[in-house]
Structure 1
Amino acid sequence: MSAGSVKKSKPTELSFLGKSYLLAYNGIQTLGWLYLLVWSTAYFLDRGTLDSYWNEMKWVVIIFQNAALLEVFHAAIRLVPSSVFVVLMQVYSRVFLVGGVLLATESGPVSPGLPLCLFAWSVTEIIRYAYYALNLVKAVPQQLTFLRYSTFLILYPLGITGELLCMYHSLDEIAEKQLFTVSMPNKWNFIFNYYYFLIFYMLLYIPFFPYLYGHMLKQRSKMLGGLSKKSA
Structure 2
Amino acid sequence: MDATTDRKPVPQQRPLKPLRSNSPKTQYLIIYNFASAVLWTAVLGRVLLLVPLVGFGRAYQGVGVFTKWTQTMALLEVVHAATGIVRAPISTTAMQVASRLLLVWGVVNNFPFLAKSAAYSSMLVAWSVTEVIRYSYFTFTLSGFQPGFISWLRYNTFFILYPLGISSECWLIFKAIKPARAVRQEYAWILQLILFIYIPGSYILFTHMMAQRRKVMRGKSVQKAR
- TM-score, with normalisation over the residues of structure 1? 0.87
Larger Rg: 1
Query: Quick one: distance in 2 between partners of 1:72 and 1:14?
Result: 23
Which residue number corresponds to residue 30 of structure 2? Answer: 23
- TM-score, with normalisation over the residues of structure 2? 0.89
Query: Quick one: distance in 2 between partners of 1:7 and 1:29?
Result: 17
Structure with greater contact order relative to length (CA < 8 Å, sep ≥ 6): 2
1:116 CA drift (Å): 1.3
Higher mean alpha-carbon deviation, 95-104 vs 53-62, is at: 53-62
Residues 14 and 76 (structure 1), Cα distance of their counterparts in 2 relative to 1, 3 Å cut: farther
Q: Which one has the bigger helix percentage?
A: 2
Which residue number corresponds to residue 151 of structure 1? Answer: 157
Which residue number corresponds to residue 162 of structure 1? Answer: 168
Higher mean alpha-carbon deviation, 100-109 vs 25-34, is at: 100-109
**8 Å CA contact retained: 1:112, 1:165:** no
> Where do 1:47-126 residues align within 5 Å?
48-126=54-132
1:3 CA drift (Å): 2.5
Q: Given residue 37 of structure 1, which amino acid in structure 2 is its aligned partner?
A: L
**8 Å CA contact retained: 1:65, 1:94:** yes
**8 Å CA contact retained: 1:120, 1:158:** yes
Task: Determine what percentage of the aligned residue pairs are the same residue.
Answer: 32
Which residue number corresponds to residue 219 of structure 1? Answer: 212
Q: Given residue 2 of structure 1, which amino acid in structure 2 is its aligned partner?
A: D
The CA deviation string for residues 116-168 of structure 1, in whole angstroms up to 9 with x for no partner, is 11000000000000001111012111221111111111111110011111112
**8 Å CA contact retained: 1:51, 1:110:** yes
Structure 1: gaps (5+ residues): 182-191
Query: Quick one: distance in 2 between partners of 1:19 and 1:76?
Result: 17
Query: Quick one: distance in 1 between partners of 2:5 and 2:133?
Result: 12
Residues 174 and 107 (structure 1), Cα distance of their counterparts in 2 relative to 1, 3 Å cut: farther
Q: Given residue 60 of structure 2, which amino acid in structure 1 is its aligned partner?
A: W
Q: Given residue 70 of structure 1, which amino acid in structure 2 is its aligned partner?
A: L
Residues 170 and 193 (structure 1), Cα distance of their counterparts in 2 relative to 1, 3 Å cut: same
Query: Which of residues 145, 161, 165 in structure 2 aligns to 1:139?
Result: 145
CA RMSD of superposed structures (Å): 1.7
**8 Å CA contact retained: 1:30, 1:129:** yes
Query: Quick one: distance in 2 between partners of 1:51 and 1:107?
Result: 8
**8 Å CA contact retained: 1:23, 1:136:** yes
1:50 CA drift (Å): 2.5
Which residue number corresponds to residue 4 of structure 1? Answer: 4
SS of 1:204 mapped into structure 2:
helix
Query: Which of residues 46, 49, 74 in structure 2 aligns to 1:39?
Result: 46
1:7 CA drift (Å): 6.2
The CA deviation string for residues 86-121 of structure 1, in whole angstroms up to 9 with x for no partner, is 100011100111110010113321222101110000
**8 Å CA contact retained: 1:75, 1:81:** yes
Which residue number corresponds to residue 194 of structure 2? Answer: 201
Query: Quick one: distance in 2 between partners of 1:122 and 1:227?
Result: 27
